[in-house]
Amino acid sequence: MLSQNTALMNQPFDRIQDTLSYFGVECRQPYYISTGNQLTDFPAAPFRMDYYSLCICSQGQIEVEIDNRLCSIGQNGMMVAAPSTIIHFLAFSKDFRMKLLFFDKNFLMPNALVLEDIFLLQNRSYSLIESRATESEKCLKLLQYLEQKTQETSVYKDEIVRTIIYYLLLETAELFQQSPQKQLQTKSATKDLYFRFVELVKTQARHHKDVLFYAETLCISSKYLIEIVRKNAGKTPSQIIDEALLKEACFLLNKKHLNISDIAYELNFSSVATFSRFFKKHTQHSPQQYREKQPTLR
């Protein structure tokens, strides 16, 4: 018989409303812009976003784990993140302030392909930018203007908000293109197929670990899929599938109320031993050791 925890594992995404509820904020719109005021508390447990976000640090510093990578964001630092990104807050300075923009997956649907370009700049679900004070100030002013427009009553309110968000994202993408950490990428006819593969992996990695499934779903051969993925990411499809699966495993292991056998079952491993071997191969730790090593918010 399945554990009652399985139902919890099958609803792993936080909507905008779920995230904001932690801070006591009610939001009924498909977007949210924060005040930028100082925060004194953050969720202790990791969560996975079901929305896009753009964050600008205006003061102080925060340490955060993003998709199992330790990151530090300081003053004028920016983060853009796509749905499925896993966030785990670790520590923040007393003077930390950050302006936030969240918007639903479908809110900018007419510009979906451009969104993929912006949010997958580093072949990951997020990008970090270290901007100059003048650049971050420009984006902060755009966010303040956007916040002002969301509070107005207008027949064309949503269209105006969409336009400002789109412009803000393009400004952010331009900053990334100019930044030293930018990875040179070439536009090609195969890039759309690569993005479709990445999106498939996000939703199907739990259920399908074989490259053939993704190739057949995309109506191409496995050989061609390998070629496309290597060209765009410098990795094999199997590596990207394993990375997504590992990300799922780490996310679930951070939920202390879930036992390891349930997690192995949820991720479609044939046994706990098989899951443990996979996990140790990629992290050098057993699932239990990983769970015991996880830091808490300070």
Write the pLDDT tens digit of every residue in 200-245: 998 899 999 999 999 999 999 999 999 999 887 788 999 999 999 9
The residue-averaged pLDDT of 112-120 equals 58
Write the pLDDT tens digit of every residue in 238-249: 999 999 999 889
- pLDDT for res 291: 87
Residue type (1 letter), 114: V
pLDDT at 28 exceeding the cut of 70: yes
Domain 191-293 has CATH 3.20.20.70: no
Distances (CA, A) of 267 to 8, 53, 150: 14, 27, 41
- pLDDT for res 297: 57
Residue 12 banded pLDDT, cuts 50, 70, 90: low
Write the pLDDT tens digit of every residue in 153-182: 888 898 899 899 988 988 888 887 776 555
* Percentage of the chain modeled with pLDDT above 90: 46
Give the integer Cα–Cα distance in Å for 132 and 187: 28
Do 217 and 201 touch, CB atoms closer than 8 A? Answer: no
Distances (CA, A) of 235 to 76, 87, 198, 226, 290: 32, 24, 12, 8, 25
- pLDDT for res 116: 61
Residue type (1 letter), 18: D
- pLDDT for res 185: 46
Q: Is the overall model pTM greater than 0.85, yes or no?
A: no
Structure tokens at 248: 């799922």
What DSSP character marks residue 258? S
Do 43 and 88 touch, CB atoms closer than 8 A? Answer: no
pLDDT at 189 exceeding the cut of 70: no
Domain 5-178 has CATH 3.40.190.10: no
Give the integer Cα–Cα distance in Å for 123 and 256: 30
**Which of left, alpha, beta for 132 (phi over 0: left; psi -120 to 50: alpha)?**
beta
Do 262 and 6 touch, CB atoms closer than 8 A? Answer: yes
- Helix 191-204 to helix 112-119 angle (10° resolution) is 80
Write the pLDDT tens digit of every residue in 276-294: 999 999 988 899 998 888 7
pLDDT at 255 exceeding the cut of 60: yes
Distance of CA 14 to the CA centre of its chain: 11
Looking from the CA of 180 toward its CB, the CA atoms found within 13 Å total: 3
pLDDT at 58 exceeding the cut of 60: yes
Structure tokens at 257: 């109320």
Do 9 and 266 touch, CB atoms closer than 8 A? Answer: yes
- pLDDT for res 74: 94
Write the pLDDT tens digit of every residue in 132-146: 899 999 999 999 999
The residue-averaged pLDDT of 101-112 equals 78
Give the integer Cα–Cα distance in Å for 188 and 263: 38
Each domain of the chain, given as residue ranges in start order, spans 5-178, 191-293
